[in-house]
Amino acid sequence: MVRISYFVFISFLLFANSLLAHTSAYTDEKLSINLMGDIVNITYRTIPAQNIPSVGTLVFLCGGPGVPCTDWTPPNVPKNFDYVTFDYVGIGANSQIQKPELMTIENQGHVAAEIIRQLSGRKVLIYCQSYGTTVATVAAAELSQQGTNILSGIVLEGIVGKDLHDYNQVKYGPFEAKTGLGNISARKSVLGIPVSIY
């Protein structure tokens, strides 16, 4: 029994140390953004690469939308990338914004695009999960339409709307109509950057 408890304790310490390695040296940045005529202050988190020099920036958009992205780091973040994430409008560090009309997918994507613009001059890769896949697609489309070509690629994991046309129509009808990005093949062709799907 003592041997098992010792093993569990050591495992916990190693796990906790790995979490701290990614979260101990972060900086919370502030950005003022115009969302539908309202100027809102957005907080986003940056964590420098563990290996220097950094080869680029990984922007992480978590699932949700009710989960603060800054509460955790996905496993296996490459040590030679800077890491950036933010809590969605109305959540966590950005919970002071409570107008429902500001918490749309389009606005979440606009916020992500504005944060990515702050990273100008860096190679940027978006890694996103579930709800974040749609937010990332909106951000990438906005950046592409404005000629801002700083994205080197997107990794979409657990795609919301993949081959679920009926779900897209009910849940993301305005998004689909506005962007024409209602299915994965459309997302790939319009964005013009490498898109990996998992």
Nearest CA-CA partner of 115 in 87, 77, 76? 87
The DSSP output letter for 152 is E
pLDDT value at position 146? 80
pLDDT tens digits, 129-153: 888 988 998 898 888 888 777 888 8
What would the pLDDT profile of 13-57 be if each residue is shown by its tens digit? 344 444 444 445 899 999 999 999 999 999 999 999 988 889 999
Residues in the chain: 198
Map out the domains of the chain with their CATH numbers: 25-197 (3.40.50.1820)
For residues 82 and 115, give the distance between their C-alpha atoms in angstroms, rounded to a whole number.
14
Between the CA atoms of 81, 82, 83 and 89, what dihedral angle is there, to the nearest 10 degrees?
Answer: -140
